Amino acid sequence: MAAALAALVHVAPDASAHTSHASHAADDEAAAVSCAGSNTISFSPGLSLPARRTRIGGDGAYTCLSTDPALRSGVSSISGGGWNGCFFSDATTAERITWNTGEQTTVVYHLGNVQQVAGQAVVLVVGRVVKGKFKGHTVASPGLQLTFDPLKCLSKRGVERITGPSTLVIV
């Protein structure tokens, strides 16, 4: 996971090489953003031993470093669905981020590696900005979301919520 993230960060455009500042859109083309924060994700129905179709919802909050010095933080809402269980995940999610500047970004994550180990999710999702600031850019979001009671995987309700640190890298 660290190697994949390092590869994504390595291909981040060099803002100093960007010489045209004629428009705000041109600035977006050279932007690179790296954020750290946390996410809380809810599953309905909860994660259980066998994978089942679930709806996903949640939110996140990030503190950021960016080639755009005005961009310092963001909050997000997460929605989606797919087949999920305590040991398996195959879902598509959208994250709608509102930056401290008031601008918005919508990311759709289609490609992901989510290792579920008894309700503890080690996540590396890769997506693309489909709308708003940074449209067309690639996004990686690795993180570790934990449940405080992994034995709930054995229950009928399952693991309904996971929470923990997450990062957001836009290149």
State phi, psi for 23 to the nearest 5 degrees: -145, 160
Give the number of other CB atoms < 10 A from CB of residue 109: 20
Q: Pick from 131, 84, 124, 92: which is nearest to 109 by CA?
A: 92
- Those residues whose C-beta lies under 8 Å from the C-beta of residue 82, and which sit 6 or more positions away, are 53, 54, 56, 89, 90, 91, 92
pLDDT at 18: 34
pLDDT tens-digit readout, 77-123? 999 999 988 877 788 999 999 999 999 999 998 755 555 555 566 66
Percent of residues, the chain, with pLDDT higher than 70: 71
pLDDT at 46: 92
Locate tokens 């693309």: which residue? Answer: 128
Give the number of other CB atoms < 10 A from CB of residue 85: 21
Mean of the per-residue pLDDT values of the chain: 78
C-alpha span between 55 and 42 (Å, rounded): 8
pLDDT tens-digit readout, 6-20? 222 223 333 333 333
pLDDT tops 70 at residue 155: yes
Q: Pick from 120, 138, 164: which is nearest to 32 by CA?
A: 138
Q: Pick from 170, 144, 165, 135: which is nearest to 65 by CA?
A: 170
Reported pTM:
0.76
- Distance, C-alpha 169 to centroid of its chain: 9
